[in-house]
Amino acid sequence: MKLFFEQHADSLTVYQLPSYSPDFNPIEYLWRKVKMLATHNQYFPKFEQLIASVEVALQHFAQRADEVKRSFRAY
């Protein structure tokens, strides 16, 4: 790869990004909203209750496409 970049340096711009960068991954904005709606400050004694809460949150956003689009606009 280094050789390729050297040969094409005039037409390429390389940006070093961290290995995980939620700021550059727009789905993270939606996941943050799902977590706030479904799991934030809540205790689930059974795993099935956690699953049910997340499913309710996902259905909430499935019915609100405009809200999802707005969260990606920040990206």
In a domain, 41, yes or no: yes
Place of tokens 């070093």: 16
Q: Which domain holds residue 38?
A: 19-73
In a domain, 9, yes or no: no
Within 10 angstroms of residue 38's Cβ, the number of other Cβ atoms is 19
How many independent structural domains does the chain possess?
A: 1
In a domain, 50, yes or no: yes
In a domain, 4, yes or no: no
Q: How far apart are CA 74 and CA 28, in angstroms?
A: 11
- Characterise 74 by phi-psi region: left (phi > 0), alpha (psi -120 to 50), beta (else): alpha
In a domain, 68, yes or no: yes
Q: Quick: pLDDT tens for 13-66.
A: 877 777 776 667 778 888 899 999 999 999 999 999 999 999 999 999 999 988
CB 54 within 8 A of CB 34: yes
Give the pTM.
0.62
In a domain, 28, yes or no: yes
Q: How far apart are CA 36 and CA 29, in angstroms?
A: 11
